[in-house]
Structure 1
Amino acid sequence: MPAGPSRGIPSQVAFDRRELSEILSIYGRMVAAGEWRDYGISCLGDMAVFSVFRRTAENPLYRIEKRPKLRNRQGMYSVVGMDGQVLKRGHDLKSVLRVLERKLIRAVD
């Protein structure tokens, strides 16, 4: 049976207000540091993606992904680098985003 409102399963995964607040907090700091310039949000059937760009017309530097199907395994949040390597994965978005904060500290020095 297809996923949808009749089964109580969302047909699309999205970030909620709290998650977006945490993501945009680090995004704002990286923009202020001159590291990031643009972002894009994709809400798909099985995952939501917040992509971060240095310039608008290039591939994303990082993707912050939310995959609810992985909730009971290694965690539904992950940060993926430009090369597709998972930099950090976990159950708590704030702790997963710390991998990006380390890059902010280096950028400021």
Structure 2
Amino acid sequence: METPVPFPLHDRLTEQVSFDRKELGVILGVYGRMVANGEWRDYGLSFLPELAVFSIFRRTAEHPIYRVEKRPKLRQRQGMYAVVAQNGQILRRGHDLAAVLKVLEKKTIRLLD
């Protein structure tokens, strides 16, 4: 006799949060500029039921220096996009992904001055 699966596979897959093509284009645009500047070297993607995460690494074997998070449940509050530093501090949160990502470019500009 077959054991029933508590949640059908299809339901579990539809519960995952992910970045759409436009969002990834915006993120990868900033990422590409930083790679060209020699600041960043690698990235990782995580898709979980509550959030999607684009992790940015200076070197492959390290912890991410920044995380770009998408939390759809915060859409009506402070915004579903956030940039989080390595120490867990939220650097910027908002409704517009491009505006939220500007904090990453400003941090790099300050470091180069």
TM normalised by structure 2 equals: 0.86
Distance in 2 between residues matched to 1:46 and 1:88, nearest whole Å: 19
Give deviations 1:63-95, integer Å, cap 9, x for gaps: 000000000011000000000000000011011
Structure of greater Rg: 2
Q: 1:99 aligns with which of 98, 103, 112?
A: 103
Identity rate of aligned residues, in percent?
65
Query: What RMSD, in angstroms, separates the aligned Cα atoms of the two structures?
Result: 2.0
Matched, 1:42 2:46: yes
TM normalised by structure 1 equals: 0.89
Matched, 1:73 2:77: yes
Give deviations 1:18-73, integer Å, cap 9, x for gaps: 00000000000000111000000001111000000001111000000000000001
Give the number of aligned pairs: 106
Indicate conservation of the 8 Å contact 1:50/1:65, yes or no: yes
What are the ranges of 5 or more consecutive residues in structure 2 without an aligned counterpart? Answer: 1-6
What is the match of residue 28 of structure 1? Answer: 32
Runs of 4+ in 1 over 3 A off after TM superposition: 106-109
